[in-house]
Chains A and B, each alone.
Chain A
Amino acid sequence: MSLNMVVGHGGMFQFHHAVFYGVGAYTIALMLTKTSMPIWVGFIAGPIAAAITGLIIGWFCVRLTRLYFGMLQISLGSLIWAIVFRWYNFTGGDDGIHGIPMPSLISSSRGSYYFILIILLICLVLMYMILKSPFGSTLQAIRDNSQRCEAVGVNVRHYQLLGIVIATFFAGVAGVLFVVLERSVFAEMLFWVLSLEIFIMCLLGGWFTFAGPMLGAAIIVALRTFVGKYTEYWTLILGVMYILVIFFLPEGVMSYFQEIFKTQTKEVAQGGQSIDAASGKPH
């Protein structure tokens, strides 16, 4: 969801978003294992560290456009992965960090479930509010036409950077929640393969919609869980599905449902006249 804030609504090619998820997770993991600071400090520090990393990487990336943005973002993100992967003494390298202590309230599976659920709901509400706020509208306007946005007095880079910082903050929250659930971290969390997976979740589910990425995530996780039971080649099915989506539903599954819904309500209201919102491609 946080990735979609920059990709779907902000129109920026944030190819390597998992880095911020990993930075959030490693921050809380390191604070809980290497320092004696109270646990809540770690909970706050994780997202903030992710957002600061987002700010630094984003500061360079917003100077470039589209694909160049994406390439630089992958490079800088991979740099952080490499540091985590190699710095054995500090991050545990490819072993990661395991057995991170959690307070008893959220260490049981039921406790952690409800804790994660509550934080998730709060984050969803916040992200929805941001998307519907003046900032959200401006970000979508930048996605549609950044040149025109600049001409109506919007400092485009400034808003893109703010969008990245907010999105990476939420990625950091997700990282912290992963630690609550698994009580371990490992370098793969910052690897580009994971970034690709969440990118596909956004595209598959519908990147111009709010709930699309959740649907995309559900499809992928369901495939892995149910089809993965029978064959290790479940990604083959995902690949075929994805090709079909690109050809027939270029804006994702959720956009398709929304379009049907809109057309139906319009038909009821106007007697058959429908709007072709699908032809407006982002620039």
Chain B
Amino acid sequence: MLQVESLTKSFDDFMAVNGANLSVGKGEIVAVIGPNGAGKTTLFNLITGALKRDRGRIIFKGEDISELPPYKICKKGISRSYQIVNIFPRLTIFGNVQVAVLSQQRRSSNLFRPAQNIAVKETRTILETVGLLDKENNIAVSLSHGDQKILEIAIALGNEPELLILDEPTAGMSPEETLATIELIKRLAQIRGLTILFCEHDMEIVFSIAQSIMVMRQGQTIIQGKPEEVRHNPVVQEAYLGVE
């Protein structure tokens, strides 16, 4: 579904991503791991168009998307959540998700119908799936950090993506919240048939849900393979797992 080939991005003299390769099959759960500064978030920013790549190709469903702006990439079926909470703080929980749903249904430019009557069912379904329905009228900024991270995912679901990219979905969460989020991710993959690409520091989480793991170091792909292959790869053990 998604192929990343020899992707390169530098900031001044610093090579943030330096020839990264990644392959994500339809319906797969793929994890990207690597030490801090390995280029994971930059890689996600490149795939979703938030940053422009220097060299390399990003192929999604057979089409080169590396030149497209973020909003067009989103319309192609790629949606993402952020490592640092990135929501609409002044809108309600409902409003946060509805913005994405309206955009998906191409109804954002409707000028005269009250928004409160549009896309209500779809928005509530998503809120119910992630467990935020009882708080739908709260202002987003008033939520706990854990709930804001869940809202992150809910907004991303509003676009009915085929490929969902999650950048450290459990960062800063309590152990209970982390467990609940892992269950949610698994459920989303099963019920919605989503393809999920995520990065995460917690190795236990990664090895428990990922079907394929890509290891990055200094912007480069060391290996991509099944969890067992990655675990026993000597380069990975030396470069990353050993250090952990």
Interface residues in chain A, defined as those with a beta carbon under 8 Å from any beta carbon in chain B: 129-130, 132-138, 140-141, 143-145, 147-156, 159, 162, 166, 208, 275-277, 279-283
Contact = CB atoms under 8 A, between A and B. Distances in A.
B50 A148 contact: no
Contacts of A283: 89
Given A134-B118, A138-B103, A148-B86, A153 B159 contact: yes
B90 A140 contact: yes
Interface stretch (B24-32, B69-77, B232-240): B69-77
B99 interface: yes
B114 to A, nearest CB: 5
Contacts of B70: 150-151
Given A152-B79, A275-B142, A280-B90, A134 B71 contact: no
A149 B140 CA distance: 15
Interface stretch (B13-21, B105-113, B181-189): B105-113
Contacts of A159: 108-109
B99 A149 contact: yes
B123 to A, nearest CB: 11
A152 B74 contact: yes
Contacts of B71: 150-156
Contacts of A275: 138-139, 142
A248 B2 CA distance: 52
B155 interface: yes
A277 B109 contact: no
Given A159-B109, A279-B141, 18 more contacts: A132-B115, A132-B116, A134-B107, A134-B108, A134-B119, A137-B108, A147-B86, A148-B82, A148-B88, A148-B155, A150-B69, A150-B70, A151-B70, A152-B74, A152-B159, A153-B74, A153-B104, A276-B142
A282 B140 CA distance: 13
Contact of A282 (B90, B96, B104): B90
Contacts of A281: 89
Interface of B: 48, 50, 69-71, 74-75, 79-80, 82, 86-91, 95-96, 98-100, 102-104, 107-116, 118-119, 138-142, 155-156, 158-159
A173 B71 CA distance: 34
Contacts, number: 128
Contact of A137 (B74, B75, B99, B112): B99
A56 to B, nearest CB: 20
B112 A277 contact: no
Contacts of A154: 71, 99, 103, 108
Contact of B114 (A132, A147, A280): A132
Nearest to A152: B100
Tell me whether chain A's interface is mostly helix, strand or loop, or mixed: helix
A280 B80 contact: no
Nearest to A143: B90
A275 B135 CA distance: 12
Contacts of A276: 141-142
Contact of A152 (B99, B109, B140): B99
Q: Pick from B48, B71, B107 the residue with the most CB of A within 10 Å.
A: B71
Contacts of B110: 133-135
Nearest to B81: A151
A155 B70 CA distance: 9
Contact of B112 (A130, A153, A280): A130
Contacts of B90: 140, 143-144, 208, 277, 280, 282
B230 to A, nearest CB: 29
Given A144-B89, A150-B69, A153-B104, A134 B138 contact: no
A23 to B, nearest CB: 22
Residue of A137, A162, A208, A282 ringed by the most chain B CB atoms within 10 A? A137
In the A-B complex, list the 8 residue pairs whose CB atoms are closest, starting with the nearest.
Answer: A280-B89, A280-B141, A153-B74, A144-B88, A152-B100, A153-B103, A141-B99, A138-B108
Contacts of A134: 102, 107-110, 113, 115, 118-119
7 contacts: A129-B114, A134-B113, A148-B86, A151-B80, A153-B75, A277-B139, A280-B139
B111 A152 contact: no
Contacts of A151: 48, 50, 70-71, 74, 79-80
Contacts of B115: 132-134, 136-137
Contacts of A148: 82, 86-88, 155
B111 A135 contact: yes
A126 B112 CA distance: 8
A279 B75 CA distance: 32
